Chains A and B, each alone.
Chain A
Amino acid sequence: MNTENRNFPARPPPPPFSSSPFASAPPPGVVPPQSGGPEAVGFRPPARPFTPSGPPMAPPAGVMRPGQPPLVSQLPGSRPPPPSFPSTAYGPPGGGGSFQRFPTPPPSGVPPPPQTLAGHLSPPMSFRPQQPMAPVTMGPPPQSMTSGIPGGFASPSGPGFQQSMPGGPQPSYPGYPSNQVLRGPPKPFQSPSQGPPSAVSSYPPQTGGFAQHPGQQNMHPSYAPPPTSNVQGLVEDFNSLSLSNIPGSLEPGLDHTSFPRPLDGDVEPSSFAEAYPMNCHSRYLRLTTNAIPNSQSLASRWHLPLGAVVCPLAEAPEGEEVPLIDFGSSGIIRCRRCRTYVNPYVTFTDSGRKWRCNICSMLNDVPGEYFSHLDATGRRMDLDQRLELTKGSVEIIAPTEYMVRPPMPPIYFFLIDVSFSATKSGMLEVATQTIKSCLDNLPGYPRTQIGFITYDSTLHFYNMKSSLSQPQMMVVSDLDDIFVPLPDDLLVNLSESRNVVEAFLDSLPLMFQNNVNVESAFGPALKAAYMVMNQLGGKLLIFQNSLPSLGVGRLKLRGDDPRVYGTDKEYTLRVAEDTFYKQMAADCTKFQIGINVYAFSDKYTDIASLGTLAKYTGGQVYYYPGFQSSIHGDKLRHELARDLTRETAWESVMRIRCGKGIRFSSYHGNFMLRSTDLLALPAVDCDKAYAMQLTLEETLLTTQTVYFQVALLYTASCGERRIRVHTAVAPVVTDLGEMYRQADTGSIVSVYSRLAIEKTLSSKLDDARNVIQQKIVKALREYRNLNAVQHRLGSRLIYPESLKFLPLYGLAIGKSTPLQGGPADASLDERCAAGFTMMALPVKKLLKLLYPSLFRVDEWLLKPLADLDDLKDVVRRLPLAAESLDSRGLYIYDDGFRLVLWFGRMLSPDIAKNLLGADFAAELSRVTLQEQENGMSKKLMRLIKKVRENDPSYHPMCFLVRQGEQPREGFLLLRHLIEDQMGGSTSYVDWVLQLHRQIQQNA
């Protein structure tokens, strides 16, 4: 109790500086080197040094003392100094915040205490004691106020704040007893913009103090009116946005330029990774918060999703590939009870003969072959040779027990629509050319198998037996009773039948170039493909050009009925119409068939139904509305090539295990759930991510950490059966504030977007958007309650540093293609296709899609000697608002799927001429960007190439648009400037105001 109280009082005095004081105070004295900005970070380090020696610390402690007042009260005579000492002694309890923590970390047992971050994380444990005390805190504050007020308040308010480090540090020492010490903190204030983030981070360690901080802040406004005007300048443990009407100005939140924007892209909480170096990399597994609540009640106050986003096969940069391990004769070491794979967090005991499972704490025997002596510290002697005991991500070669059949070869089966529209649009030609060019690069040579079926109103099978010189075509026109005309040779070994396959691909476009058949027997064709493939499984690529119109699975033009839009029935348009599709998908998954759907029609094709096939087989939907080979050809070529050649994991299953007391309760993404927690993924690759949510099963978690282990059992294209294991750990905390500090916006947004898209399948778009809004409101309200209980921050929106982008991303989710506006804003097919795509996107890719980058290139193009070594030099992202666009500039908008080049009206004609050649004055919708014979154009093309190479999973198509060219400009760009108000949607400022209002309503 005492500890807490101390904090309280302590802070009160600093109040003006409050947020910073804590952190800042120590630094000044101890670490002068720190610059004003980084206060928070800087603080901690200093703190540690102090901790060891309690008494010497005293000066710094002075800062703390304010907090100690409670003690003071108990100890009648001695005020500041005495309390301070005791506080240090107490250190562990965590009263002092940063100082005490130091001691605590070691006990907590967190591996990397030395690291600053580690320190933060560990604190959680220490905090617990503090919390109970919380109630007491209320009492002391008054004291603190009185005591603190005298000196500190007045002075700190004005000058102190603005002054930076300079004055504070040294004076503070001597003056430390006095309020001036407190002033030291002011630094944080000075650097509001930079400061907030850092400050926030620093606070976390002080977890205990969190609640109190708010108090201090309260003091601020009330005690020192001047500061309030300086609102933006305040640095606190949380961030805030001033939304008050500034006197004299009409617009609220005028200062919207200061609103947080993720202009640096996705920022991962790196501190956490440093604290747990043995965790798997965040590209594989990202928790929504790196602090797990210890009780159900705490979890229920955490209104954000609690879960993880897993991308098991994420592409690793060179040099960081996942190591391959063979356990050989000892077999794979797994826990007998929970089947956890051995990982860096297991502990060896009994001189190396036993190991304790980190997930269920079961004591297992170490097999003889795996035995190793332990050294004095209890580490295995052979640790450096055992990658599975040092790396968070490993790949294990699976023995026979993990196979139900011999590893399958990679199989690619193509189901191609050859009806009139397919040939006319050129799709057939582009697709066959691409397939042919990829034959050399298909993974798994020499076992790879390949096969084709084409269809219009009949089905065409192709015998590609290696002994033939030309493929034989067989036509089956009985759609009601489908049969496969040939038992073998429809699916052939590519290396043996290479010539036949090539001959087939060459002749296919010619064979159907005069086809006038407009029917599509899609359902029967799918069934036939299924019958050919179900012996072995594999990947089925469907090229569909029109609405399925014949046989089983035919679909109606339901999307064309405008009467359904906007009604309660609207959602039915977004789910599969015919159960045939879901049934087929289920059957395919069972036989290890993964389906990718490529859709090309310019008319309604019911992607909602077709996409179901991809959704439940772990596949993907590619949609090219109104495909024209001259325009979309490149995109299809790249994306199909990527699909065919990227490393793929076959016949895989994935499971994620976690410690006792918690459980993964729901999964979101494209897959089929085979049992309650086993995801069946017939074909999975690096571009697929899966989200899942956690629930606490026990009311109270007694462990200090929680472990997660993702295991993906799959067959590699080379015919090896492997298990990819990712292990991660997260601390269990008792403090809601800590959870907020450790939150990961990227994965929260990822989970939210999936939830929202799922919601659109059962209710109206409005409802889905509202759900997201409500969730954000609840989360921020809770945070507000946590921090702002006793003071009036009425005019400010407060949020933790870690979630500063959450409101913006929330807005972006509501404006993303699957969720935006009303029925008129995006065609039903586009919505559904985007929905299926977003359900599978990894975090970074999704964030880019939600908040695309917009940058200006004309200046860079004019620079003579600019080179492209680092994309970052060129790409200076701008806020996505119309006012970022200067009519004299040339801008590129890049959301990972499209590149839009926006030519300002006043752009110098030279640039346009250089880039576009002779067409520069023409209507840009008819112009395609081609490399011209001049440096500027080459430079631009190199930039675009670089941007595309940066993320090969999709091929962004290039659109050109000139300012004022309606409606293309609105459609291509303006509508995606999500910070602006458009149609019925809200602008960023309004959105924040709206959130703020709602947060306050029930606060």
Chain B
Amino acid sequence: MVKMTLIARVTDGLPLAEGLDDGRDLPDSDMYKQQVKSLFKNLSRGHNEASRMSVETGPYIFHYIIEGRVCYLTMCDRSYPKKLAFQYLEDLKNEFERVNGPNIVTAARPYAFIKFDTFIQKTKKLYQDTRTQRNIAKLNDELYEVHQIMTRNVQEVLGVGEKLDQVSEMSSRLTSESRVYADKAKDLNRQALIRKWAPVAIVLGVVFLLFWVKNKLW
């Protein structure tokens, strides 16, 4: 069963449309939406060029296709037939390109094609029940092949970006800490100097003082 549907532009991760009441009766829909968003971000950075992919996350699975710089993504139950899910996405893609094709590149504001949600809603209903004639026929369609589509885990996918992030974070931490180290070393150096010469200076000071006092008094 389709849980949520999102359409975004790959180049910058800008969301273009989203299913209407997505996330209804989904307790942690926010978390999944967050995952989708980071997935889009990864895509926009150029990771995961595969144009069709399934990504497992918890009890659900994301399916997405990328075509014409637009990513169509849906989240389903794991039990939902992969074949149907991808046909659903194909349907969306065809309609979306037909309606909004030329404007996709120029869209500037988020959800510029939010009007598409009514179509998403309609199509979703068609795919809701796997046992309708129509869907069974689709399932049996030999021509549509989905076996080669790779399945990976969401941690893996997001992990790629995360690792890069971690490395850059670590390196930046390294620079900042080495700077701190340099500062501290300088400081210690100075303190050592003071410790070394302070007694001498004090003794000399006292001697001179005595001299001076002596000269003054006598």
Partner of A406, one of B14, B114, B122: B114
Partner of A409, one of B15, B17, B20: B20
Is B110 within 8 A of A536, CB to CB?
A: no
| Cβ of B115 under 8 Å from chain A | yes
Is A403 within 8 A of B115, CB to CB?
A: no
| Cβ of A397 under 8 Å from chain B | yes
| Cβ of A399 under 8 Å from chain B | yes
A495–B121 Cα distance when bound, in Å, is 13
Is A407 within 8 A of B111, CB to CB?
A: yes
Kindly list chain A residues whose C-beta atoms are within 8 Å of the C-beta of B23: 405
Known contacts A400-B15, A536-B20, A536-B21; A721/B111 CB under 8 A: yes
Kindly list chain B residues whose C-beta atoms are within 8 Å of the C-beta of A328: 108
A409–B19 Cα distance when bound, in Å, is 12
| Residue of A with least CB distance to B115 | A447
Q: Quote the shortest CB–CB distance from A411 to chain B (angstroms).
A: 10
Known contacts A447-B118, A493-B118, A493-B121; A406/B108 CB under 8 A: no
Partner of B21, one of A403, A446, A496, A535: A535
Partner of B110, one of A399, A493, A496: A399
| Residue of B with least CB distance to A403 | B110
Contact size range, A: 20 to 34
Interface mask (B16-53 → A, CB under 8 Å = 1, otherwise 0): 01101101100000000000000000000000000000
Kindly list chain A residues whose C-beta atoms are within 8 Å of the C-beta of B109: 326, 397-399, 720-721
Interface mask (B100-117 → A, CB under 8 Å = 1, otherwise 0): 000000001111001101
A954–B14 Cα distance when bound, in Å, is 42
Interface mask (B113-131 → A, CB under 8 Å = 1, otherwise 0): 0110110011001000000
| Residue of A with least CB distance to B29 | A405
| Residue of A with least CB distance to B33 | A405
Kindly list chain B residues whose C-beta atoms are within 8 Å of the C-beta of A399: 109-110
| Cβ of A129 under 8 Å from chain B | no
Is B115 within 8 A of A719, CB to CB?
A: yes
Is B114 within 8 A of A400, CB to CB?
A: no
Q: Quote the shortest CB–CB distance from A490 to chain B (angstroms).
A: 12
Within 8 A of B (CB), among A597-648: none
Partner of A400, one of B14, B17, B20, B21: B14
Is B110 within 8 A of A721, CB to CB?
A: yes
Q: Quote the shortest CB–CB distance from B129 to chain A (angstroms).
A: 13
A699–B109 Cα distance when bound, in Å, is 45
Partner of A496, one of B18, B20, B114, B118: B118
Kindly list chain B residues whose C-beta atoms are within 8 Å of the C-beta of A535: 21, 24
A406–B14 Cα distance when bound, in Å, is 12
Kindly list chain A residues whose C-beta atoms are within 8 Å of the C-beta of B21: 535-536
Kindly list chain B residues whose C-beta atoms are within 8 Å of the C-beta of A403: 110-111
Is B117 within 8 A of A409, CB to CB?
A: yes
Is B117 within 8 A of A406, CB to CB?
A: yes
A405–B32 Cα distance when bound, in Å, is 13
| Residue of A with least CB distance to B114 | A719
From B15, B18, B115, residue with most partner A Cβ within 10 Å:
B115
Interface mask (B157-182 → A, CB under 8 Å = 1, otherwise 0): 00000000000000000000000000
Interface mask (A697-731 → B, CB under 8 Å = 1, otherwise 0): 00000000000000000000001110000000000
- The main secondary structure of chain A at its interface with chain B is loop
| Residue of A with least CB distance to B110 | A400
Is A326 within 8 A of B108, CB to CB?
A: yes
Q: Quote the shortest CB–CB distance from B13 to chain A (angstroms).
A: 9
Q: Quote the shortest CB–CB distance from B23 to chain A (angstroms).
A: 8
Q: Quote the shortest CB–CB distance from B111 to chain A (angstroms).
A: 5
A536–B22 Cα distance when bound, in Å, is 10
Is A406 within 8 A of B24, CB to CB?
A: no
Interface mask (A113-152 → B, CB under 8 Å = 1, otherwise 0): 0000000000000000000000000000000000000000
Partner of B111, one of A326, A406, A496: A406
Q: Quote the shortest CB–CB distance from B158 to chain A (angstroms).
A: 19
Kindly list chain A residues whose C-beta atoms are within 8 Å of the C-beta of B125: 488
Is B118 within 8 A of A446, CB to CB?
A: yes
| Residue of A with least CB distance to B21 | A535
Within 8 A of B (CB), among A354-388: none
| Residue of B with least CB distance to A720 | B109
| Residue of A with least CB distance to B125 | A488
A446–B115 Cα distance when bound, in Å, is 7
From B23, B118, B125, residue with most partner A Cβ within 10 Å:
B118
A495–B118 Cα distance when bound, in Å, is 10
Kindly list chain A residues whose C-beta atoms are within 8 Å of the C-beta of B18: 405-406
Q: Quote the shortest CB–CB distance from B29 to chain A (angstroms).
A: 9
| Residue of A with least CB distance to B14 | A400
A398–B21 Cα distance when bound, in Å, is 21
Interface mask (B41-80 → A, CB under 8 Å = 1, otherwise 0): 0000000000000000000000000000000000000000
Kindly list chain A residues whose C-beta atoms are within 8 Å of the C-beta of B15: 400, 406
A655–B61 Cα distance when bound, in Å, is 40
Q: Quote the shortest CB–CB distance from A402 to chain B (angstroms).
A: 9
Kindly list chain A residues whose C-beta atoms are within 8 Å of the C-beta of B121: 493
Within 8 A of B (CB), among A829-859: none
| Residue of A with least CB distance to B128 | A488
Q: Quote the shortest CB–CB distance from B110 to chain A (angstroms).
A: 4
Partner of A447, one of B108, B117, B122: B117
Q: Quote the shortest CB–CB distance from A150 to chain B (angstroms).
A: 77
Q: Quote the shortest CB–CB distance from B108 to chain A (angstroms).
A: 6
Within 8 A of B (CB), among A480-499: 488, 493, 495-496
A721–B108 Cα distance when bound, in Å, is 13
Kindly list chain B residues whose C-beta atoms are within 8 Å of the C-beta of A536: 20-21
Kindly list chain B residues whose C-beta atoms are within 8 Å of the C-beta of A406: 15, 17-18, 20, 111, 114, 117
A405–B20 Cα distance when bound, in Å, is 10
Kindly list chain B residues whose C-beta atoms are within 8 Å of the C-beta of A407: 111, 114
A409–B114 Cα distance when bound, in Å, is 9
Known contacts A326-B108, A326-B109; A447/B14 CB under 8 A: no
Q: Quote the shortest CB–CB distance from B92 to chain A (angstroms).
A: 15
Kindly list chain B residues whose C-beta atoms are within 8 Å of the C-beta of A495: 118
Partner of A719, one of B14, B24, B111: B111
A488–B129 Cα distance when bound, in Å, is 14
| Residue of B with least CB distance to A399 | B110
Interface mask (A319-339 → B, CB under 8 Å = 1, otherwise 0): 000000010100000000000
Kindly list chain B residues whose C-beta atoms are within 8 Å of the C-beta of A721: 109-111
Kindly list chain B residues whose C-beta atoms are within 8 Å of the C-beta of A400: 14-15, 110
A397–B20 Cα distance when bound, in Å, is 21
A447–B117 Cα distance when bound, in Å, is 8
Q: Quote the shortest CB–CB distance from B42 to chain A (angstroms).
A: 16
Kindly list chain A residues whose C-beta atoms are within 8 Å of the C-beta of B111: 403, 406-407, 719, 721
A447–B110 Cα distance when bound, in Å, is 17
A403–B37 Cα distance when bound, in Å, is 13
A398–B108 Cα distance when bound, in Å, is 11
Interface mask (A398-422 → B, CB under 8 Å = 1, otherwise 0): 1110010111010000000000000
Kindly list chain B residues whose C-beta atoms are within 8 Å of the C-beta of A398: 109-110
A399–B108 Cα distance when bound, in Å, is 9
Q: Quote the shortest CB–CB distance from B169 to chain A (angstroms).
A: 22
A285–B114 Cα distance when bound, in Å, is 32
A446–B117 Cα distance when bound, in Å, is 10
| Residue of A with least CB distance to B16 | A406
Kindly list chain B residues whose C-beta atoms are within 8 Å of the C-beta of A397: 108-109
Interface mask (B128-140 → A, CB under 8 Å = 1, otherwise 0): 0000000000000
A721–B118 Cα distance when bound, in Å, is 18
Q: Quote the shortest CB–CB distance from B43 to chain A (angstroms).
A: 15
Q: Please name 7 further chain A to chain B contacts, defined as beta carbons within 8 Å, in addition to the given A406-B15, A446-B115, A447-B118, sorted by A numbering.
A: A406-B20, A406-B111, A407-B111, A488-B125, A493-B121, A535-B24, A719-B111
Interface residues of A (CB under 8 A from B): 326, 328, 397-400, 403, 405-407, 409, 446-447, 488, 493, 495-496, 535-536, 719-721
Question: Can you report 17 residue pairs joining A to B where beta carbons are below 8 Å apart?
Answer: A397-B108, A397-B109, A399-B110, A403-B110, A403-B111, A405-B23, A406-B18, A407-B111, A407-B114, A409-B20, A409-B117, A446-B118, A488-B125, A495-B118, A535-B24, A719-B111, A721-B111
Per CB-CB distance, the 3 closest pairs between chain A and chain B, nearest first, are: A406-B18, A719-B114, A400-B110
